[in-house]
Structures are given as structure tokens and as C-alpha cells.
Structure 1
Amino acid sequence: MKILLSGGTVVSMDPAVGDLDRGDVLIEDGLIVAVAERIDAPDAEVINASDRIVMPGFVDNHRHAWQTALRGIGADWTFPEWAAAMHRTVKPHYTPEDVYAGTLLGRLEALHSGVTTMLDWYHVAQSHAHEDAAVAALRDTPGRSIFCLGAGWGTTDPIDDDIRRVRSDLAEDGLVSMALGLRGPEATSIDTVARELKLAAELGLRTSLHIEASGTIAELREHGLLRDTTTAVHANGTSDEELRMLADAGGSISISPDVELKMGFGSPMTGRALAAGLRPTLSIDDVPSVGGDMFSTMRTAFAVQRGLDGGLRARDLLDFATVDAAHSCGLDARTGSITPGKDADILLLRTDDLTVFPVTDPAGTIVSAGHPGLVDTVLVAGRVVKRDGVLVGVDLAALRTRLLESRNRIAAAAGIPLDGTWRPQPEAE
């Protein structure tokens, strides 16, 4: 099967391909086979990309999709309040059906807003049925997803059997693959970290690790546990020296700027990471607290760092949200840029929308003024999953009903109001 994206403004994110004011992209059997000003393909299905920016899909390498049913409830929360709410108050009342509904709608939301690849950082840790429900939801969404299985919040129990069980069911080269969510020395013993890293290497899994405190990266290095397959999430308290350690090891960093600023983590690490030799990547984190689209995430990271030192350019943010994030997931050979030979994970963004018209600088417009309403068409591995602004083959009315039922049941079971008045009480230190 061939598809020709015809006449769009191509922002390829591949220096060898470059950008085209007017260009065509030819897709065959799910792969990008050619990018040029004009391509003759009379046997291809033609998608008119005029008045559209053609760019690679976004890559979000850290999101907790199971929390989607409680969207917006934590807009005013600090991090300790979020932890008390999500992990100690509502999570015990989550059934596998709740996990499925939240993950499904969360992944569809991300796809709708142009996130073609998403790492779902799962830490519900209630039962095998809960894990299977999350995986099933990702499989039922036509996006490229990574199920990052981690232990429950604050638990020290071994998760080796869980990792092996789920890994045996997920092919490395499928649309849904797997990663291991490390607890790290802040949450468990260094011996446990070493064992989990050994297991990840044995199973061919990349790892992701939330970092809060200064000294964590140094401790990992001291014990020979820094890996080029590990993404450090947040790391706002990390020293410049530790960032250089992470860079020297070939690791990566995921920044969630809206959550970090609102919840009291500190300034996003964008500029400091670059200075240390790291390529920052961007992620949403959780939608009870912030919006779920990459446009607003890029804009926050851009504005904050420009305010600090004026050093970033708009295209840097596009790099962070596409090719750099794909690299952090070990998928840069398959996605992250419009490059012949890669899978066709591609967005068509409207340029005739009054919120962005006229588009003079495509990269500048995407970063400074982009929003999910511009996402007209989405392809994943060459399959059209959103067309003319509508997700293909998705019964959203039924799914909305399902998620509302889940939210209301969880809230009732947890005894919390849904009128915006609830403020969770953090545990006393």
C-alpha cells in the first residue's frame, strides 16, 4: 500500500533531508520511502497536505496514563499533595477496569494531540489483572506505546516475576513494547537497583527512573550502575557534576516543565542539561495536574529557559519532542524524523487555522502558538489513525461514558468530592 502526502510544508527534523516549503512524502507498507519537492506516484492514495505542516509525530517519554479519569483535579496541588491523593487515597480503589479506561482514554488523548509515541509509566501495582488491563488498553489504541512497568509507590517488594511475565507477552518490535521502571536508591536498596538493571539487560529493556534528590546519580555511578539505556525523569535537585556523569554514561533526561514548576520541583533542567552535554527530552507526567499535549509542554520549557538565559531556539524544542525523545526510548532508528527508511509516524498540522495564520516560520509557529486543534491528520507506521481532525474508528461517546463511570466510582469509593474543594493531606515528615 502506498500513500502520498502531497504539497505540504515539510519539517523533517532530519538535517540530511532538510525542510521543504512545498514537498511530498511517499509512504509504502508503513515506511517512509521518499521525501522530495515533487514525487510521481500514480498508484498511491493521495492525501492533500496543502495548507498543512508535515512533521514527525511527537514522542512523550513519561506519562502516567492510568490517572486520566481524574483530569484537572490536582491543578492546585503540590507534589506531596499529589502523592497523598493519587497513591494513598484513590489508587487502592482502582479496579482493572478503571486502569483500562484511564489508560485507553489517556493514550487516545495523546494520539489526538499528535503524540504518536508514548511511554506509559505504570505504577499502580495492584495485581496482574491491573497490569494486563493497562497493556490491553495500549494495544487497543493505534499508537506506538511503551509500557514501562514499575513497582508501586513506596514499595520495596521484588517485581522480577511481574517484569518477566509481561515481557514474555510483548514483542520488542511491535507497536506496544516494554521498559522497566526503576525505583532507584531513593526508594529501595542499591542491591535492588543492581538486580533490576541486570534483569533489564537480560530482557533487553530500557529503564526509566524518577529522581528527586541530589546525590542519586552520583551513588549510581559509584556502584557502576549508570547506563546508556536509562532515562532520568525530572532530576531538578541534581548537581551540574551529576548531570555530566549522566551525559558521560550516555543516559538521557526527561523534563516535565509544567508539573515541575507547579508542584515545587524547581526550575526545569533544560539549560543545565544542555550545558552538561545532555539532549533534553520532554514529557507530560500526569493530567490531574497539567494539560496532556506536547505543544503547551514545549511552550513552557521554551519560555522558562529563554527567560533564564535566552539560549534556546524554537527548533531546539522540536528536537527535544521528536528525534531526541525517540533516541531516549531506543526508537530513533524507527521514528522521530521524516527520514526514508523510518516508520511513517507523521502529523499534518493546519496552517489555515486563524490562531496560526499566516505561518511564516513553521518551527517558530509550532512552538510558540501550536495547539491540539491544529492536528488534522495523524499516521502511525503508515496507518491513518486521525483524519480531518477526527480519530478513525473510535466510539468516543461510549468511551466518555465509560470514563465518567470510572471516575465517579473511584471518587465515591475513596470518599472524595469532585467539586474542586478537596485538598489531600500529605503525610507528616
Structure 2
Amino acid sequence: MTSLLLRNGTVIDTAPAPRVLGRADVLVEDGRIAAVGPGLVPPAGAEILDAAGRIVMPGFVDTHRHTWQTAIRATLPDSTLPAYLQRVLGELAPRYRPDDVYSGTLAGALECLDSGITTVVDWSHIMFSPDHTDADIAALRASGIRAVFGYCYGGGDDLAALAAETTRVRREYFDAPPGNVSMWMAALGPEIAGEERALAEWRLARDLDLPVTVHMGGHGAESAARGLAFLEDNGLIGHPAMYVHANFYTGDDFKKIAANGGTVSATPGVEAALGIGDPATGRSHAAGVPTGLGCDTVASGPGDMFGVMRAAYFLERARPGGAGTWFTTAEALRAATLGGAETAGLAGVTGSLTPGKQADLVVLRTDTLGMAAAHDPIAAVVLSAETRHVDTVLVGGRVLKRGGVLQGHDVPSLLDTLRGAAARITGE
């Protein structure tokens, strides 16, 4: 048995809601949280990590990220969704080679880990060939992050080929116990692709026992209503699904999603930046829908959860007439941790410090001008912390960042590769 004790940190747990436990220890055994409390006695031979003067908390869960886009960071600031679709998906994506997918996804996953994101839902619509797909999965596994691989077939309009390749990926990579990387169907239909493709995707997901993550609710009120009606009419609304960009759903829509076991991923930073619509973060949560946060795309927004939490917090509290003042820093932190785990179907695995869960943990420094003398540790995490404060990161008990440095990766070499890919892809 391998054991590790994080000793004497300021511990924040998130179940059932974020709360500060005070100075305490967290004991990890064989990759899982074994105990949380003051004065824990470690087993003989346990590694001791001194967390005094640090915050110890669950890792962040990013519920929606196009991880492959790391090489096109900040290509579309001050833009719109139509411009994003044309530039990124219409012009830049087709220039990606499989090795570009590997370097971009690996760099994006390491960016997540560097900033304390221990779980990511990788919504991958760069799957132009089996080689592109294999490269993405290899990069996720090489990074060490916990990931949901959202597979979106990109080989064309042949629905038989869609079924064959999706089935290959499912059987080849995910029939056996998947380890830290599992698979979902990333569906284009019914709001982006036509209904024929939507039926093929959702029915195939049901046949292959894959949950669905789908962009729905963010293309206007009429499209949102039509999309939900399509799922109802075809007996698909009860299939496990994460609705991304649920901006135009009504209160009744959210109740319907909740009643059918659906979840919502909000990306408030990018949704605001691209003019997608009023983020649904607070409305969906208040309606009883498990709701998580996502970074979405670094082409138009930040790649760390600190910026996303702040976007969610400020946008909710700015609602007219004080309608959003119930959305506290604790609500923002929950959406970024346990709420995200619930959204991604991983509430029994990660998102809190509940004994028995995987030890996906983050240790934050507080000995900087930006974090010192914080009276409320939860508020400090949401309002003040940055990537530079992430000292230590564990995924499944494995230390992937220590003393502020990522472990086991040649980051300078990867960055050189990424810069080369970026110059060729963008033509700059």
C-alpha cells in the first residue's frame, strides 16, 4: 500500500457544500482519500507533504473544453460565435495534422493540471481521421489528467462510417476498464447538425452505452425549444446527457432536463465574450439541474478555472434587481468542483474530499501578496487565486505538480513543438 499525508493545511471540502474545515490533514492510500481530519497518524513509510500555510482542496473539474485548440490561443478575442465557427472550425481546424492534435491536446491537458484542473471533459471535434482520434486519446493518457473523451466524428456525412468509427474507438480503447480516461459521445445534432445525423448519433450512443455531451440551448430560443422537442419526440430525452451552452432554456425546460437526469455545462466567460447569450449557471442550478463550469476555448477565453469562476460569479451577481445575489463564492466553487463532477457523471469519483473517492487534490499557496491575509479561504480561491498559486496537484494520488513545477514532462520541448504547429496552422 502506498500512502501520502498532506499535513496541517487549511482544508476546504465541497460536499455537500463548500466549507472550511480548518487546519487538518488529508490521508491518501492507494490513490484514494482515506481520511480527513486533524492530527492523523500516517502509516509507516508514508510520504509527508507539509501543507502548513497552504489551502488543500479538491481539484477543479472543467466540464467543457476543446483541448486541441491550445495552438490557436487568443486568435479570436472580441469576436462572435459565427466568426468563431468560420475561423476556427472552417479555416484552422482542417489544417491540423494528427501530430498537431497530439501536441495541442497534451499541452492543453498540462495547462489544466498546471492550473489545478484535475478532470476535463475534452469535447473533441477535430476527429478527421482515425489517426487524429488516436493522437487525442494518446495525449490525454500521457498527460495523467482524469478525462472524459468526448468523441465527435469528423470524417464527413456518411452515417455508416460514423457508426463504424465510433464503434471502433469504443471497442478498441474503452471496452476494458478505461483508467483515468473514459468516453462520451460528443454529438453535433440536433441543433448544429441536421436531424438525420442527430438520430444516428444519439441512437448509436444508446447502443454503445455512451452518455452524450451536446451543444444545445445556445442558438436562440426557437432552436432551443425545437431541439428539446426533437429529443422528446424521438424518445431520446431520457438518455444521459450534458447540455452545453443552455443559455436560452426556460425554467420549465430546466425542470424537464432535471427530471430526465440531464446536466448542464456553462462556460460563462466564452458565452459572454462571443455573445452566445446570458449564461445559465445560476438559473440551471436553481432549477435543480447539476451544473458545472467549463473553459470552452482558449481561442476566445481563459484556460484556467479561476477566471471562469470569477466570470460566473460576477455575471450572476450583476443580474438586474439583485436577482443573482444568492450566487455566492461558495456556489461558484461548488460549480467548479463537485458540481462539475456531477455534471460529468463522476460525482462518485472526484469533486470532494469524501473518503473513498479518488485523491484528486490541489494545494494552493497563500504566501503571496495576492493571497496573504485572506479572511475567507473560499472567497480567496474564487476571487484572488491564480495559476501561480497552484503549488501541488494530485490525480488519483499521483503527484503531477510539485513545488509549482509539472512532473514527468519536457514542457520546454512541448512548447517548441506547439509554437511550430501554431505558426503553420495560422500562417503567421
Distance in 2 (CA, whole Å) between partners of 1:136 and 1:184 is 27
Instruction: Say if 1:317 and 1:16 are closer, same or farther in 2 by CA, change over 3 A.
Output: closer
Instruction: Say if 1:33 and 1:359 are closer, same or farther in 2 by CA, change over 3 A.
Output: same
- Whether 2:132 is the aligned partner of 1:130: answer yes
Using structure 1 for the length normalisation, give the TM-score. 0.92
Q: What is aligned with 1:375?
A: 390
**1:173: how far off?**
4.0
Distance in 2 (CA, whole Å) between partners of 1:155 and 1:282 is 31
Distance in 2 (CA, whole Å) between partners of 1:331 and 1:275 is 21
Q: What is aligned with 1:231?
A: 242
Higher mean C-alpha deviation, range 162-171 or range 5-14:
162-171
- Whether 2:164 is the aligned partner of 1:161: answer yes
Distance in 2 (CA, whole Å) between partners of 1:358 and 1:64 is 36
**1:237: how far off?**
2.2
- Whether 2:229 is the aligned partner of 1:218: answer yes
Distance in 1 (CA, whole Å) between partners of 2:252 and 2:82 is 27
Does the 8 Å contact 1:172/1:178 carry over to 2? Answer: no
Q: Report Cα offsets for 1:213-258 as digits up to 9, x if no partner.
A: 3211233123321135200000212233222211111101100011
- Whether 2:62 is the aligned partner of 1:57: answer no
Q: What is aligned with 1:86?
A: 88
Distance in 2 (CA, whole Å) between partners of 1:343 and 1:135 is 21
Instruction: Say if 1:235 and 1:132 are closer, same or farther in 2 by CA, change over 3 A.
Output: same
Does the 8 Å contact 1:17/1:339 carry over to 2? Answer: no
Aligned residues: 413
Does the 8 Å contact 2:11/2:20 carry over to 1? Answer: yes
Q: What is aligned with 2:20?
A: 19
Aligned-residue sequence identity (percent) comes to 41
**1:282: how far off?**
0.3
Q: Aligned letter for 2:33?
A: I
Distance in 2 (CA, whole Å) between partners of 1:64 and 1:296 is 17
Higher mean C-alpha deviation, range 143-152 or range 171-180:
171-180
Q: Aligned letter for 1:278?
A: V
Higher mean C-alpha deviation, range 252-261 or range 70-79:
70-79
Does the 8 Å contact 2:159/2:197 carry over to 1? Answer: no
Q: Report Cα offsets for 1:321-380 as digits up to 9, x if no partner.
A: 111111122211111101110110000011112101112111111111121111000000
- Whether 2:398 is the aligned partner of 1:397: answer no
Distance in 2 (CA, whole Å) between partners of 1:200 and 1:406 is 33
Instruction: Say if 1:92 and 1:333 are closer, same or farther in 2 by CA, change over 3 A.
Output: same
- Whether 2:317 is the aligned partner of 1:302: answer no
Q: What is aligned with 2:303?
A: 292
Does the 8 Å contact 1:284/1:291 carry over to 2? Answer: yes
Higher mean C-alpha deviation, range 363-372 or range 267-276:
267-276
**1:203: how far off?**
2.5
Q: CA RMSD in A?
A: 1.8
Does the 8 Å contact 1:20/1:37 carry over to 2? Answer: no
Unaligned runs of 5+ in 1: 413-417, 419-429
Distance in 1 (CA, whole Å) between partners of 2:277 and 2:426 is 30
Q: What is aligned with 2:151?
A: 149
Q: Aligned letter for 1:70?
A: I
**1:42: how far off?**
5.0
Q: Report Cα offsets for 1:24-53 as digits up to 9, x if no partner.
A: 011111011111111011521100011111
1:67 to 69, 78, 81: 69
* Partner SS for 1:124: strand
Using structure 2 for the length normalisation, give the TM-score. 0.92
Q: Report Cα offsets for 1:259-310 as digits up to 9, x if no partner.
A: 1111111111122213322232100110011110001101011001111121
**1:125: how far off?**
2.8
Instruction: Say if 1:208 and 1:59 are closer, same or farther in 2 by CA, change over 3 A.
Output: same
**1:102: how far off?**
0.6
Distance in 2 (CA, whole Å) between partners of 1:17 and 1:142 is 26
**1:172: how far off?**
4.4
Q: Report Cα offsets for 1:151-198 as digits up to 9, x if no partner.
A: 339957452112111112134441111111112222344454344333
Distance in 2 (CA, whole Å) between partners of 1:32 and 1:201 is 33
1:326 to 341, 344, 347: 341
